[in-house]
Amino acid sequence: MSAKPVPALTQQPLSVINIGLSGFGQTIRDCGGSACDLRWQPPAEGDAEAGWALARLIADERIDAANRTAYGRYLASQPVLTGVGVAGDVIPGMSGRIILHSGPPIAWPDMCGPQQGAILGAVLFEAWASDIGAARRLIESGEVRLEPCHHHAAVGPMAGIISPSMPVWIVSNTAGGNVAYCNMNEGLGRVLRFGANDAEVIDRLRWMAKTLAPTLALIIDELGGLDLKPLMAQALHMGDEVHNRNVAASMLLLRKLSTAGLRSTRLERGALAETLSFIAANDHFFLNLSMAACKAMLDAAQGVPHSTLLTAMARNGVEFGIRLAGSDDWFTAPAPFVDGLFFPGYGPADAARDLGDSAITETAGVGGFAMAASPAIVQFVGGSARDALANTRRMLHVTLGQNGAFTLPALDFTGTPAGIDARRVLDSGIRPVINTGIAHKEAGVGQVGAGITHAPLACFAKAVLAVARNLPEEN
Amino acid sequence: MTDVVTRFFPNLYRDSVALMQLSARLARLPGVAQASAQMATRANLELMKSAGVLDSVPEPRPNDIFLVLSGEADAVDDALRTAAGWLDEKAARGDEEAQQEPLRSIQMAIERAGANEGETEGQAANLALISTPGDYAAAEAMKALRLGLNVMIFSDNVSVEAEVALKRYARERNLLVMGPDCGTSIINGIPLAFANVVKRGDIGLIGASGTGLQQVSCLIDHYGGGITHAIGTGGHDLSAAVGGLTMLTAFEQLAGDPATRVIVLVSKPPAAVVAETLLRAAQHCGKPVVVCFLGASADSIRAFALTPADTLEDAARQAVRLSPSASAMAGADAPEASDRAQRARRLAAQLRPEQRHLRGLYTGGTFCYEAVLMLQEALPGLRSNTPAGSVGRIADVWTSHSDTLLDLGDDEFTRGRPHPMIDPGLRNERLLAEAADPGVAIVLLDFVLGYGAHPDPAGQIVPALRAARQAASQAGRTVLFIGHVCGTDGDPQGLSEQCQTLAAAGVELAASNAGAVALCRAVLEAARAPRSGD
């Protein structure tokens, strides 16, 4: 790298950034100089090796260029809902007995309760076993592959279970050519994604496969596809952040689907009514589409060597994992607990650790990053509307830019903070904020609360060390 | 005794989040076991029953809030009133200004300054001053360099490998890395870390030693000169491993600085290969260069047609003599030297015959080192924890040897305690012990003023001086206290005030460390010589 000519320090008025003893900054100001004091903490939670590796990646032109490329692809992406399909038919690598789950890879015995319960439910749904005991033996035999959704261009909320016969949303990035998938939202209460696997749950899944999915497929065909970015942007202006609050987006979707459905001559009235009622009863119906759209945007950025842009944050209830655009590796740390409010009768002792692929929304610059659009969310942690704005503003310090497709009225219609740079997270110690639901730690109880959590810094330290290892020496 | 009470709050709607929040706040009240607030819909009430909060489901009232509380009877009653109060409360929170995120990284500071550029006409940041724990200092410095900033690292305990990596990176980009372990610098008149308030002028200093730079800059000020910049390099810069990378860059910058007319280099003697490179660069810079490599031979400097200085005081004097704007004033302080012999005889006369030894208690390491060099011939038995020349290392720093000079800022003394420049009171105990030794003639002291130093170093020592003198007097002796104050009248502590305090307490003061050491030497020589009238 060639040296740039820099004017000598002695030829400039001094302007100091003071890191450490604040008295030194005060002296400079007392003597008429300019100095600002950092609120400094040891980066990487005091891991000096990671801190040094990080320092050598700051302002590295190779990384900056890779990030510009990856971030550019993310910004340019155009996620369009193009259809509904059967997972085994449309998701790559879904042949044979396989079940996808949320978060980074994890072995069956290590999984949390809700994820195990949901996998057993999926076995029953697939009719690979006739009862729970047989399902458990089948899984323990190792004859069913268990793999992360993220390894198959897919995402799933909470337990994140996708088995071959399940219907999935198909979202295509028309600007990049990649396709992303997500399962469909079952509603609240006793549902598979919280680990419930009784007959009511399996029956609902069967109805979704048999009635909901074909009906939606026809409606989407009638619509000729649905641009998701504008719909999400509109929802942000209506009080959603399209992760933990999806009321407006679900209504906007229902408006599109109902008019198109009623227009269609190919639909059976009973099925249409059931379908629309099912959607109308679920404030979170849009969540899974939001997730698929975000996955499509971020997969567009995947595969740019040396990039430190985050393309996934995902949790399996045991570990929290992140992935960078520069590699397919996971960097993990223990999943945190969620700070939040609990439904009547439940408390922190009932909570599972953070769970699900839904943090793909924050990775894509919505969810917690768009909290300014959704002040109601901060009440989960006793916050004020001002805190919502502060949360969004804080994320500007860890992102590469702002996504002009998603504007925030409360912040003068500036874009949401987008494109998390692992270096910036580790350097500032500002952890990406995530709005999320809280699952009961035991399978099948369901959601017990909601709140806010933060990505653990240890993931970022590992990621930065890996980037540093793979980067050739500068010369 | 546990009580369960339920209450409807009629025609009051709150969303579920607000109600969960209310429940959580109530549950935190002392004596409350459980609190659940919900809109009283059938679904919610049934949910409460299935969660075990209710035994039976009351008639739904969907427009009302339904609250269930359990806990101690009094607490539950109180909580019920509290809940009513909260539900009544206006939501207004005041229009406080949105808080700005504190600056947590160098990058954030640079970006914040960039964003505010329109509002303030500030210069973009160009120096990071780093005083974090040593384990993290190199990383912060590397970030600063990569972001285009110069760096001053006050922190110590940075590895040589990291120092070399930082300095190589900086050298290619004309950036300065002052330090690690750099205690002082003055850039464009602004003191950094431990520095004195010195008049501006045309003399530029570069030093590997913090107190060395402070002494030279203060004496230049005292002699009527002034400085452009004083650039600290840190103590390891001139080692063979580091190769003087910072001193070379600093030298080039001062050579190219139109305001700098004279350059002074201050250091212990560099590694041979480094000295060669530096002196060659100095030889061809086109400006007069004073070289004070404490302990190096004058001939090795003269060989490069440069001006040697054997003490810090000499360096200051030579620089002022060479300074076009200040040379007329040079030598104004010369009388001290001519009066010294007479003063020494007067002081020596106060000593008893067995009082033959010197004990130096230094807060500034370079002062101690300079004193060792100046006294090595006169005091063959001298020991120190900053050994130099023919003087050996003291075996046990806690036990003084006949003639002993101690740097109390050395690691052995500062582990877990502040540096004696920050807390000079730490040497008081040792001062009392030395003065109580019947063989001790002189206790040699230094006092360092300026930013970062103690607000009143002189005042700190006065009680100990008084006690030591009294104890000696009761034993029929007089112990001499000789010292110097490194500072200027512009310093927050004020040179004159500090000198007055010390003189009033009986300290014999010289204008420089070299002057104080020379006085000690003269006193000891006079005391050892056969006295007239004996």
What dihedral do alpha carbons A461, A462, A463, A468 form, nearest 10°? 90
pLDDT in tens, A64-81: 999 999 999 999 999 999
pLDDT band at A333 (very low <50, low <70, confident <90, very high): very high
Single-letter amino acid code for the residue at B73: A
Closest C-alpha among A471, A429, A456, A440 to residue A350: A440
Please give the Cα distance from B196 to B201 (Å, whole number). Answer: 14
- Cβ atoms B194, B421 nearer than 8 A: yes
pLDDT band at A2 (very low <50, low <70, confident <90, very high): very low
The token duo for A181 is 């998938």
The answer, for B146 touching chain A at a CB cutoff of 8 Å, is yes
User: Which residue among B36, B162, B257 places its CB closest to the CB of A345?
Assistant: B36
pLDDT in tens, A90-100: 999 999 999 99
Interface test with A, best of B23, B136, B185 (most A CBs within 10 A): B136
The token duo for A342 is 């609990």
- B532 vs B185, residue with greater confidence: B185
User: A230 Cβ partners below 8 Å, 6+ apart?
Assistant: none
User: Which residue among B51, B104, B452 places its CB closest to the CB of A38?
Assistant: B104
| Percent of chain B whose pLDDT exceeds 90 | 68
pLDDT over threshold 80, residue B495: yes
| Percent of chain A whose pLDDT exceeds 90 | 88
Query: Which of the 8 DSSP states describes residue B461?
Result: H
Is the preceding omega at residue B180 within 30 degrees of 0, hence cis? yes
Please give the Cα distance from A364 to A362 (Å, whole number). Answer: 5
pLDDT over threshold 50, residue A49: yes
Closest C-alpha among B489, B434, B512, B435 to residue B198: B489
Residues of B whose CB is below 8 A from A475: none
pLDDT in tens, A383-423: 788 889 999 999 999 999 999 999 999 998 999 999 999 99
Closest C-alpha among A160, A167, A150 to residue A119: A160
Interface of A with B in 443-462 (CB under 8 A): 449-450
The pLDDT of residue B1 is 60
pLDDT over threshold 90, residue B145: yes
pLDDT band at B334 (very low <50, low <70, confident <90, very high): low
The pLDDT of residue B332 is 53
Q: Between the CA of residue A443 and those of A116, A195, A198, A440, A453, what are the distances in Å?
A: 7, 4, 11, 7, 21
- A64 vs B70, residue with greater confidence: A64
Q: Between the CA of residue A242 and those of A2, A79, A169, A317, A406, what are the distances in Å?
A: 46, 15, 16, 21, 11
pLDDT band at B42 (very low <50, low <70, confident <90, very high): confident
- Cβ atoms B214, B486 nearer than 8 A: yes
3-state secondary structure of B113: helix
pLDDT over threshold 80, residue B125: yes
- B442 vs B66, residue with greater confidence: B442
Please give the Cα distance from A39 to A31 (Å, whole number). Answer: 22
Neighbours of A274 (CB within 10 A): 15
The pLDDT of residue B423 is 82
pLDDT band at B357 (very low <50, low <70, confident <90, very high): very high
Please give the Cα distance from B448 to B407 (Å, whole number). Answer: 13
Please give the average per-residue pLDDT across B64-91, as a whole number.
82
pLDDT, averaged across chain B:
89
pLDDT band at B413 (very low <50, low <70, confident <90, very high): confident
Question: Picking from A313-317, B87-91, B439-443, which range would have the lowest pLDDT averaged per residue?
Answer: B87-91
Closest C-alpha among B491, B495, B512 to residue B196: B491
Tokens 């109880």, residue?
A445
Question: Picking from A149-153, A319-323, A348-352, B119-123, which range would have the lowest pLDDT averaged per residue?
Answer: B119-123
Angle between helix A199-207 and A113-126 (nearest 10): 60
Question: What is the distance in angstroms between the CA of the first residue and the CA of the last residue of chain A?
Answer: 6
pLDDT band at B327 (very low <50, low <70, confident <90, very high): low
Please give the Cα distance from A112 to A161 (Å, whole number). Answer: 13
The answer, for B158 touching chain A at a CB cutoff of 8 Å, is no
Q: Between the CA of residue B165 and those of A44, A61, A474, B128, what are the distances in Å?
A: 21, 18, 12, 17
Residues of B whose CB is below 8 A from A308: none
- Cβ atoms A185, A141 nearer than 8 A: no
Residues of B whose CB is below 8 A from A35: 129
H/E stretch holding B190 reads strand B190-193
pLDDT in tens, B270-294: 999 999 999 999 999 999 999 999 9
Q: Please answer yes or no on whether B136 and A48 come within 8 Å at the CB atom.
A: yes
Q: Domain B124-329: which topology?
A: Rossmann fold (3.40.50)
Q: Please answer yes or no on whether A8 and B253 come within 8 Å at the CB atom.
A: yes
| Domain B2-88 part of CATH 1.10.10 | no
Q: Please answer yes or no on whether A12 and B188 come within 8 Å at the CB atom.
A: yes
Single-letter amino acid code for the residue at A80: V
Domain at B335-528: CATH code: 3.40.50.261
Q: Do domains B124-329 and B335-528 have the same CATH topology?
A: yes
Question: Picking from B121-125, B195-199, B266-270, B387-391, which range would have the lowest pLDDT averaged per residue?
Answer: B121-125
The pLDDT of residue B95 is 35
Please give the average per-residue pLDDT across A311-336, as a whole number.
97
The pLDDT of residue B94 is 34
pLDDT band at B122 (very low <50, low <70, confident <90, very high): low
The pLDDT of residue B40 is 83
Q: Please answer yes or no on whether B98 and A393 come within 8 Å at the CB atom.
A: yes
Please give the Cα distance from B71 to B5 (Å, whole number). Answer: 9
Please give the Cα distance from B450 to B491 (Å, whole number). Answer: 5
At B480, phi and psi to the nearest 5? -90, 140
pLDDT over threshold 50, residue A144: yes
Please give the Cα distance from A172 to B462 (Å, whole number). Answer: 82
Please give the average per-residue pLDDT across B442-451, as a whole number.
97
pLDDT, averaged across chain A:
94
pLDDT in tens, B365-397: 999 999 999 999 999 999 999 999 899 999 999
pLDDT in tens, B7-41: 888 767 676 667 777 888 898 889 998 888 888 88
Please give the average per-residue pLDDT across B401-424, as a whole number.
85
Interface of A with B in 54-73 (CB under 8 A): 54-56, 58-60
Question: Picking from A298-302, B155-159, B445-449, which range would have the lowest pLDDT averaged per residue?
Answer: B155-159
Q: Please answer yes or no on whether A379 and B131 come within 8 Å at the CB atom.
A: no
The pLDDT of residue B459 is 94
User: Which residue among B131, B148, B187 places its CB closest to the CB of A14?
Assistant: B187
Domains of chain A: 62-73+303-470 (3.90.1700.10), 76-292 (3.90.1710.10)
pLDDT in tens, A425-457: 999 999 999 999 999 999 888 889 999 999 999
| Percent of chain A whose pLDDT exceeds 70 | 98
Q: Between the CA of residue A204 and those of A58, A118, A199, A230, what are the distances in Å?
A: 51, 14, 8, 31
The token duo for B242 is 């580091």
Pairing relationship of beta strands A331-334 and B262-267 according to DSSP bridges: unpaired
Q: Between the CA of residue A17 and those of A36, A150, B106, B350, what are the distances in Å?
A: 5, 42, 7, 54
- Cβ atoms A83, A170 nearer than 8 A: yes
**What string of H, E and C letters represents the secondary structure of chain A?**
CCCCCCCCHHHCCCEEEEECCHHHHHHHHHCCCEEEECCCCCHHHHCHHHHHHHHCCCCCHHHHHHHHHHHHHHHHCCEEEEEEEEHHHHCCCCCCCEEEECCCCCCHHHCCHHHHHHHHHHHHHHCCCCCHHHHHHHHHCCCCEEEEHHHHCEECECCCCECCCCEEEEEEECCCCCEEEEECCCCCCCCHHHCCCCHHHHHHHHHHHHHHHHHHHHHHHHHCCEEHHHHHHHHHCCCCCCCCCCHHHHHHHHHHHHHHHHHCCCCCHHHHHHHHHHHHCCCCCCHHHHHHHHHHHHHCCCCCCCCCEEEEEEEECCEEEEEECCCCCCEEEECCCCEEEECCCCCHHHECCCEECCCHHHHCCCHHHHHHHCHHHHHHHCCCHHHHHHHHHHHCCCEEEEEEEEEEHHHCCEEEEEEEEHHHHHHHCCCCEEEEEEEECCCCCCEEEEEEEECCHHHHHHHHHHHHHHCCCCC
Strand partners, A417: A402
- B500 vs A376, residue with greater confidence: B500
Q: Where are the domains of chain B?
A: 2-88, 124-329, 335-528
pLDDT over threshold 50, residue B321: yes
Interface of A with B in 199-258 (CB under 8 A): none
The answer, for B67 touching chain A at a CB cutoff of 8 Å, is no
The token duo for B40 is 């009283």
The token duo for A406 is 């998603």
Question: Picking from B118-127, B165-174, B402-411, which range would have the lowest pLDDT averaged per residue?
Answer: B118-127
Tokens 């020596």, residue?
B348
Question: How would you class A89 by CB atoms within 10 Å of its CB: exposed for 0-12, middle for 13-18, buried for 19 or more?
Answer: exposed
User: How far, rounded to the nearest angstrom, does the alpha carbon of residue A31 sit from its chain's CA centroid?
Assistant: 49
Please give the average per-residue pLDDT across A276-298, as a whole number.
97
| Percent of chain B whose pLDDT exceeds 70 | 92
Write the DSSP assignment of B242-303 as a string of letters: TTTHHHHHHHHHHHT-TT--EEEEEESPPPHHHHHHHHHHHHTSSS-EEEEETTS-HHHHHT
The answer, for B513 touching chain A at a CB cutoff of 8 Å, is no
Q: Please answer yes or no on whether B96 and A386 come within 8 Å at the CB atom.
A: yes
Residues of A whose CB is below 8 A from B130: 19-20
pLDDT over threshold 80, residue A304: yes
The pLDDT of residue B91 is 37
The pLDDT of residue B404 is 97
